[in-house]
Amino acid sequence: MTQATTNQPRLAPWLAGLPIAATLWVLAYAHLTDLADLAIGALGLTRATHLGEAVYFFLYDTPKMLLLLTGIVFLMGVIQTFFAPERTRALLAGRRLGVGNAMAASLGIVTPFCSCSAVPLFIGFLSAGVPLGITFSFLIAAPMVNEVALALLLGLFGWKVALLYLGLGLLVAIVAGLIIGELKMERHLEDWVRAIHAGEAMVSSGDDFTWPKRLQAGLRHVREIVGRVWPYVLVGIGLGALIHGYVPEDFMAAFMGRDVWWAVPAAVVLGVPMYTNAAGIIPIVEALIGKGAALGTTLAFMMSVIALSAPEMLILRKVLKWPLIATFIGVVATGILLVGYVFNLVL
């Protein structure tokens, strides 16, 4: 790697700045309703009207979501500096099915991952001796259980739903990986992929992190992620606010309520051709739930959109043969279906 040079960031500014930022964050978060009340009053509106209620909802939810998103994405950016993909791979190489799948799914959350890296990671893992089933656990968990989804679920539905999503997402990834591993489908990899063997060590993307650098990485993560998703969040909350103020309750209950048995499979099937990130799907989720759709059905839809997407299948097709792709889709879709039904039953 490049040698360390003159412009090393210093720790002192962080030691001063971080506590101040954290205090401001907590203060702002604790006074969200007061701020929204103030703003509503200043605008000359009251919550008794449709318009007033919609505006209030928007003014309360926007800062709340952006605060949560910024805080969680920053933490995740710092945590990710401890888990370079190379390190994760070394941790997983040669593991046995079972423990390996659980580790892989968990590491999928904290390893920096962008969907365009799915194929290089996939091949890199296999070539270093990470078993196929364990690689799949990683690849299923990484996009599905991500910090943006968790932050938004936390903001919208509270920590219980966020935790449930986390737990069930991990479960789907672990079990799907286990099944794919047990089916011994290695021969359904494309030939050129099987021909790549682990050789000399690959370049590591930075294990020379110091604390200031880790914190800087956190900031960069915020700029990158929050900078990209905030318009989706605003549009989502705006839509949510309109629906909150104007559309009658239980509008969706007839199609997506918990008594409609076919709603969960329909949600999963609908989700496959759709391709968007967690931020893009959240507005829809909020609108659905707000108007009486069952939570399990909605979360199944969300998981399906993020974890099973047609464009991603086309990319994976370059490394997997059809039987393996079909198995992957089948196993993950079944897992999501079960999650949907369980949520609807329990909640």
Measured from the CB of residue 275, what is the shortest distance to other proteins in angstroms? 13
Measured from the CB of residue 123, what is the shortest distance to other proteins in angstroms? 5
Closer of 74 and 157 to other proteins (Cβ): 74
Measured from the CB of residue 279, what is the shortest distance to other proteins in angstroms? 14
3 state SS for the chain: CCCCCCCCCCCHHHHHHHHHHHHHHHHHHHCHHHHHHHHHHHCCCCCCCHHHHHHHHHHHHHHHHHHHHHHHHHHHHHHHCCCCHHHHHHHHCCCCCCHHHHHHHHHHHHCCCCHHHHHHHHHHHHHCCCCHHHHHHHHHHHHHCCHHHHHHHHHHHCHHHHHHHHHHHHHHHHHHHHHHHHCCCHHHECHHHHHCCCCCCCCCCCCCCCHHHHHHHHHHHHHHHHHHHHHHHHHHHHHHHHHHHHCCCCCCHHHHCCCCCCHHHHHHHHHCCCCCCHHHHHHHHHHHHHCCCCHHHHHHHHHHHHHCCHHHHHHHCCCECHHHHHHHHHHHHHHHHHHHHHHHHHC
Measured from the CB of residue 109, what is the shortest distance to other proteins in angstroms? 16
Q: How far apart are CA 219 and CA 81, in angstroms?
A: 12
Closer of 53 and 147 to other proteins (Cβ): 147
Residue 2 lies near other proteins (rule: CB under 8 A)? yes
Residue 10 lies near other proteins (rule: CB under 8 A)? no
Closer of 30 and 203 to other proteins (Cβ): 203
* Binding residues among 215-234 for other proteins as defined by CB under 8 A: 224
Closer of 50 and 318 to other proteins (Cβ): 318
Residue 239 lies near other proteins (rule: CB under 8 A)? no
From the list 200, 227, 259, 261, which residue makes contact with other proteins (rule: CB under 8 A)? Answer: 200
Distances (CA, A) of 293 to 269, 270, 289, 321: 17, 15, 5, 37
Measured from the CB of residue 124, what is the shortest distance to other proteins in angstroms? 4
Stretch that binds other proteins, among 37-45, 150-158, 198-206, 282-290 (CB under 8 A): 198-206
Distances (CA, A) of 299 to 51, 92, 103, 233: 29, 29, 24, 18
From the list 27, 30, 191, 199, which residue makes contact with other proteins (rule: CB under 8 A)? Answer: 199
Residue 319 lies near other proteins (rule: CB under 8 A)? yes
Residue 176 corresponds to which tokens in the numbers above? 């799907």
Closer of 45 and 84 to other proteins (Cβ): 84
Residue 94 lies near other proteins (rule: CB under 8 A)? no
From the list 50, 160, 184, 318, which residue makes contact with other proteins (rule: CB under 8 A)? Answer: 318
Residue 182 corresponds to which tokens in the numbers above? 């047990």
Measured from the CB of residue 329, what is the shortest distance to other proteins in angstroms? 20
Closer of 160 and 317 to other proteins (Cβ): 317
Q: How far apart are CA 318 and CA 139, in angstroms?
A: 16
Residue 38 lies near other proteins (rule: CB under 8 A)? no
From the list 203, 259, 261, 346, which residue makes contact with other proteins (rule: CB under 8 A)? Answer: 203
Residue 84 lies near other proteins (rule: CB under 8 A)? yes
Closer of 199 and 248 to other proteins (Cβ): 199
Of the candidates 246, 308, 249, 225, the residue with the CA atom closest to the CA atom of residue 51: 246
Give me the 96-125 binding string for other proteins, x by CB under 8 A, dash otherwise.
----------------xxxxxx-xxx-xx-
Site residue total, other proteins (CB under 8 A): 30
Which residues are near other proteins by CB under 8 A?
1-2, 5, 7, 84-86, 89, 112-117, 119-121, 123-124, 192, 196, 199-200, 202-203, 205, 224, 315, 318-319
